[in-house]
Chains A and B, each alone.
Chain A
Amino acid sequence: MAAEDVVVVEEEVEDVVVEVVEVVEDVVAAVDDDQPELIEVPLIGLGYRQMLADWISTCPPEVHCLEITAEHFFDHGQVRLEWLSQNFPLYVHGLGLSLGTPGPLDAKTLDQFARVVAMANPEWISEHVAFTRSAEVDLGHLNPIAPTEHSLQILVDHARELMDRCQKPLILENVTSFLRLSGDLSEPKFLNRLCEQAGCGLLLDVTNLLINARNHKFDELAWLQELEPHHIRQLHVVGYSQRHGVWHDNHGAAIQDDLFKLISEVARITSVNAIIVERDMNFPPTDELRRELTRLEEVCAAVRQRSGQHNG
């Protein structure tokens, strides 16, 4: 090693030490203020899609983690999955288990899901508070569940079965729907009960929340206040579209300012572990994606900073 290399390494070590000292000071300050919960900046990542594969292969520093869709790996892609699991913290997201359908989970889909989970060894797994099929009809996409005691019990049983089978923590996602079904509970209270009784967490899709709030004319912040914030473990976000006064989640737009604001609100009330950008189409140049991911990190860091100042 040359002398100049040694100097560079020493400078890098010094930087790391300074960072460590700052973090320790934060912790000490929090403990001194009887505020043991340190709000952390979450990992920021992407939903893994084939269109992004080449870019992700370069391990861009803005991508801290990845969420893979289990169904994309049911038949093929074992080699790629192995590489991804070696290079990123992974989360496995399911689309087709239809946890809200009464009766047993589809055995074949459950087997395939569990096999992908075993290969990916994710930190956690996720599915939706929804049904995609009944015994007679497969609707192919997510549909809402009436927030009743009966549907709650079915979801709780299925969530437990999924966790038992995969031996991984489970988080469940709120969906967007044009159809609102009435029931015994409000949606946030239903989600609170679901998380408590099943022992799972919540994957809060902030885009779905905002779209539902706009289409069904309710206040998203009041909705958030009803939710037990400690259940929220991960966020999903992607830009929405709007046509003729109706909001849609087409997963093909840049994240709008009101979504960043809503994420900031969530970050203010709880510390989530990860935020995943769920872009499925109209992929922008990677520079734009980098900026979007960086902005998400900055929004969360700003909340943490403000919270630190407030506590201090």
Chain B
Amino acid sequence: MAEVASDDDEYYGEEVSLLSLLLGDVELRRRFIGNSQQVARELTDDPATIEFLMKLDHLQLEKQAESLVSKRQHEVAALMPVTWQQLGGTAVSRFRNFAAESSWPQGHTRHISDAEAFSSWLFERQVRELEIAEWNRLRFRLTDRRLAIRILSNGQILPRLQILLRQKDGRIRDYMYGWE
């Protein structure tokens, strides 16, 4: 049986919502740290929620937000290791720029979706370090397909063939064929 939400529940709900906004939105967080009182009043007119926001430790808030982006970055780096390595010293800054522009995908495949979106972002910017075969694998993982065949031209005269196969246990096999 669904319980009727009390006013207190609504205030608590607002606390979680506003904390999420502060953790997820770099610009809002910067403004809040710069002038907490004003931003808190812009966000809510509930005195209890304002009090909750005013008690937040700015350094802790920043560290928590940073840890969320770091975890996101770590997962993406693990899912596209070749591209990440090829990006070298620019990998982190490129990812941070991408993360600042995009919201985190929802659902249990969020890390794969995030890595796929980062790959698309790199592709749109014609970043040559993007490993297309890795991007193909990410796109395949987001489908239910059993088999996918991709042609990788990469500017070469003889293209390579990538075959992606999903096994019954869910594991993915990635075969690459080339012509010498």
Give the interface of A toward B (CB within 8 A): 50, 53, 71, 73-80, 95-96, 100-104, 109, 112, 131, 133-141, 143, 146, 148, 150-151, 153-154, 157, 177-182, 246, 248, 250, 281
A150-B11, A154-B12 given as contacts; is B20 within 8 A of A75 (CB)? no
* Most chain B beta-carbon neighbours within 10 Å: one of A140, A151, A177, A182: A140
Check B110 for interface membership: any CB of A closer than 8 A: yes
Check B128 for interface membership: any CB of A closer than 8 A: no
Chain B residues near A136 (CB, 8 Å)? 17, 20-21
* Most chain B beta-carbon neighbours within 10 Å: one of A141, A146, A154, A250: A141
Binds A, one of B31-39, B119-127, B152-160, B168-176: B168-176
**B78 touching A281, Cβ below 8 Å:** yes
A50 vs B169: C-alpha distance when bound (angstroms): 11
B43 CB to nearest chain A CB (Å): 12
* Most chain B beta-carbon neighbours within 10 Å: one of A75, A179, A250: A179
A250 vs B71: C-alpha distance when bound (angstroms): 9
A12 CB to nearest chain B CB (Å): 35
**A74 touching B108, Cβ below 8 Å:** yes
**B20 touching A150, Cβ below 8 Å:** no
**A178 touching B109, Cβ below 8 Å:** no
Chain A residues near B168 (CB, 8 Å)? 79
A50-B171, A143-B19 given as contacts; is B60 within 8 A of A150 (CB)? no
Contact of B110 among A78, A79, A138 (CB under 8 A): A138
A73 vs B171: C-alpha distance when bound (angstroms): 11
A142 vs B101: C-alpha distance when bound (angstroms): 22
**A139 touching B67, Cβ below 8 Å:** no
Chain A residues near B56 (CB, 8 Å)? 179, 181
